[in-house]
Amino acid sequence: MKKIIFIISLISVLFLSACHSYSPTEEAPGFLPDYTILKKVPDSPEGTQIYTYKNPNVNRSDYHAVLITPVMIYQKANRKGVTDEQIEQVKTELNAGIQQMVSKQIGLTNTAGPGVARLEVAITGAMVEKQNPKLRNLIPVSAAIFLASKATDLDKKQPVLIVELKFTDSVSKQLLRETVTVIKGENFRMQSSSTEEFVALAKTWVQQALDYSGGK
């Protein structure tokens, strides 16, 4: 159980899901610039809901490199055994994974400039109610996993994990793409019993977000 709590807390970041199935709440930190423009992806992978937006006035050929901002982790160390060292370890592994994914499609750079897009990624947990499908409250990733692992009935209240990413122009800050992936509790409740397993799952979710945002 200590591993589960720790995994959970390893990445708790900001956001909420958007559009049509879930809508932002007052607690939303506003990671994405505009949730109302997101459209639901009809062929989302089983156990997930993906929403995305692509700026119609931007072409892939306009960009030759991506500047990746370190993944956002809002989880803090706590009395349940989550340490700053553990959080940094997870953050490091995820950052490396994201760089590897993106580098397969486009060059990477550490410098903003013309033709360079900026990629930002965040992960968090939330609780939703099926009768009134809105994000009721944002919670640490650790809490979402813990609740999912203990839940016997997810019909009324469901813990979810949320991955949000956005591409912006590194100079003008113009929005190029944005994507929200909502992962239902049953899709991770039995698969996150260790830190390594959680990191592997998180990488899969980020890869899906990149693919469905047009990252291919």
Mean pLDDT of all residues in 168-194: 83
| Average pLDDT value for the chain | 76
Q: Could you tell me the pLDDT band of residue 74, with boundaries at 50, 70 and 90?
A: low
- In terms of pTM, does the model score above 0.75? yes
Residue type for position 69: T
Q: What is the pLDDT at residue 158?
A: 75
Q: What is the pLDDT of residue 26?
A: 35
Q: Is the pLDDT of residue 134 over 60?
A: no
Question: Which of 96-110, 123-137, 138-152 is predicted with the least confidence, judged by mean pLDDT?
Answer: 123-137
Q: What is the mean pLDDT of residues 162-170?
A: 93
The secondary structure element, H or E, covering residue 123 is: strand 116-129
Query: Domains (ranges, CATH) in the chain?
Result: 2-215 (3.30.160)
Tell me the mean pLDDT in the region 81-102: 85
Q: Using CB atoms within 10 Å of the CB of residue 43, give its burial: 0 to 12 exposed, 13 to 18 middle, 19+ buried.
A: exposed
Residue 189 has what pLDDT? 66
Q: Is 128:135 a contact under the CB 8 Å cutoff?
A: yes
| DSSP type of residue 212 | I
Contact 144, 159 (CB under 8 A): yes
Q: State residue 170's pLDDT score.
A: 98
Whole-number pLDDT of residue 84: 79
Task: Identify the pLDDT of residue 90.
Answer: 81
> What does the buried/exposed string (b/e) look like for 53-90 if buried means 16 or more CB atoms within 10 Å of the residue's CB?
bbeeebeeeebebbbbeebbbbbeeeeeebeeebbeeb
Lookup result for tokens 């709440």: 25
